[in-house]
Amino acid sequence: MEDIRNLEYRELKDLVASFAEKPYRASQLYLWLFNQRAVSFDEMTDIPKGFRQRLKERFYISHPKIAAIEVSRDGATKLLLELDDKNYIESVIIPEEKRTALCISSQVGCPLACKFCMTGSKGFIRNLRLSEIINQVFAAERHIQLQSNRKITNLVLMGMGEPLLNLEEVTKFLNIAADQSGLAFAPRKITVSTAGIAPGIERLSSGAMFNLAVSLNATTDEVRSRLMPINKKYPLKVVLDACRRYQRSRKRAITFEYVLIKKINDSLADAHRLITMLKGIECKINLIPFNTFPGTSFNKPERGVILEFQKVLLNGGYAVFIRESRGDDISAACGQLRGKLVD
């Protein structure tokens, strides 16, 4: 049996044709599965019973299984989801004044092993399927409906994993998320965050107008390779060239994320190099003071150092924000997701 929510519209059309059903049944199925968030075939009352029965014989509709919920003192909520194969992933609901973002995982674990990230230190298990990415949205929607009258307004692919290394399923997800007959989020409310997989950035340029965030974290290849081993494959120049091409095709500001780590990448020389490196790219810069986790030798810079770093960039003409991660008391902050109940 296959989870029917792994099929995008094109595949539903092929499925409907293989059942010799009328082509418009694919649109009906698509609407039920992704727009109406159907949990059973029985709900699909405008689809003939006989066809529904034949679908049930080959497919099921998965339900997100929430294994644990943790709420931070700052309001961020971490959902631990159990997958059919007993792996676990985490999603984080981040309520803000005017919006509620959902931080979504794209892989179980992560192969990139960034040194400042707990997810990366735990290794890689597998890519998520389309249904497993979508189920994170449905789980979060149901959870906040029960808790408040808020709605998820923004989606950020910034949880466990590197989305551009699971490009096929992530692209299906993005298209459905931004489709008004699908999950119906505005593309400008969807952000894909990458550690700098240059070919993936190029491929994203041909899709809808999503936001791109690039995790930069250093101003020399030497330091970046130490923090992010993927830099040996896609060094700074290659990543930034891909960003420039992306921007030429999209005309949209890119967000650069910079995790500030004490005495590693937080010098004023780093700030000045950053200004030079990013010249010509319309962007904003998010400075994220490092979130500590057990076993790391890294530390968060002093507040004064962070503010000085920001000031240099502001004087260089950039929009620069200090993003204190949300949910650090429940290990839901950037780089703290593990996908496990306990170690």
Contact call for residue 112 and ligand SF4 (CB under 6 A)? yes
User: Residue 268 is encoded by which pair of tokens?
Assistant: 């004023």
Would you count residue 117 as binding ligand SF4 (CB under 6 A)?
yes
Contacting residue, 120, 182, 301, 339, with ligand SF4 by CB under 6 A: 120
Q: How near is the Cβ of 94 to ligand SF4 at its closest, in Å?
A: 17
Of 93 and 195, which has the nearer Cβ to ligand SF4?
195
The structure tokens 């294994």 sit at: 67
Identity of the residue, 34 or 290, whose beta carbon is nearer to ligand SF4 in the bound complex: 290
Among 95, 289, 327, 335, binds ligand SF4 (CB under 6 A): 335
Quick one: CA dihedral 304, 310, 314, 319, positive or negative? Answer: negative
Q: Which of 8, 21, 90, 257 does the annotation list as catalytic?
A: 90
Rounded distance between C-alpha atoms, residue 87 and residue 89, angstroms: 7
Instruction: Give the whole-angstrom CA distance, residue 315 versus residue 313.
Output: 5
For residue 157, the one-letter residue type is: L
Beta carbons of 152 and 99 less than 8 angstroms apart: no
Q: How far is the CB of 90 from ligand SF4 (least distance, A)?
A: 11
Q: Are 215 and 260 in contact (CB under 8 A)?
A: no
* Angle, CA 175 vertex, CA 169 and CA 177 arms, to 5°: 95
Quick one: 126 or 142, whose CB is closer to ligand SF4? 126
**CB of 110 or CB of 125, closer to ligand SF4:** 110
Q: E strand or H helix at 248, and its extent?
A: helix 236-250
Question: Does residue 333 belong to the site contacting ligand SF4 (CB under 6 A)?
Answer: no
- From the CB of 158, what's the least distance to ligand SF4, in Å? 8
CA dist list (Å): 172 to 24, 28, 268, 321: 20, 18, 42, 31
Q: Tokens standing for 238? A: 């290659």
Point out the residue whose Cβ comes nearest to ligand SF4: 120
Burial of residue 136 (CB within 10 Å: 0-12, 13-18, 19+) is buried
Q: Interacting stretch for ligand SF4, rule CB under 6 A, among 27-35, 114-122, 172-180, 243-251?
A: 114-122
Of the listed pieces 26-34, 51-59, 158-166, 198-206, which binds ligand SF4 according to CB under 6 A? 158-166
Residue 282: active-site member: no
Q: Minimum Å distance from CB 259 to ligand SF4?
A: 8
Q: Which stretch binds ligand SF4 (CB under 6 A): 1-9, 14-22, 141-149, 157-165?
A: 157-165
- Determine if 161 is a binding residue for ligand SF4 (CB under 6 A): yes
Chain positions 169 to 208 lying near ligand SF4, rule: CB under 6 A, are 195
**What crossing angle do the helices spanning 303-315 and 268-277 adopt, rounded to 10°?**
30
- The yes or no reply on residue 162 touching ligand SF4 (CB under 6 A) is yes
Packing angle of the helix pair 167-178, 130-147 (nearest 10 deg): 40
Number of residues that bind ligand SF4 (CB under 6 A): 12
| Token pair of 265 as six digits | 């990448």
Respond yes or no: is residue 334 known to be catalytic: yes
- Binding segment for ligand SF4 among 43-51, 65-73, 115-123, 311-319 (CB under 6 A)? 115-123
Confirm if 114 and 195 have CB atoms less than 8 A apart: yes
Q: If binding is defined by CB under 6 A, does position 110 make contact with ligand SF4?
A: yes
Least spacing, CB of residue 292 vs ligand SF4, in Å: 15
Which member of 103, 114, 243, 334 is catalytic?
334
Q: How far is the CB of 73 from ligand SF4 (least distance, A)?
A: 24
Q: What gap in Å lies between CA 165 and CA 197, rounded to an integer?
A: 8
104 binds ligand SF4 (CB under 6 A): no
Given strand 65-71, what is the order of strands in its sheet? 65-71, 77-82, 88-95, 100-103, 154-157, 190-194, 211-215, 254-260, 283-289, 319-322
Positions that interact with ligand SF4 (CB under 6 A): 110, 112-114, 117, 119-120, 160-162, 195, 335
Catalytic residues: 90, 334
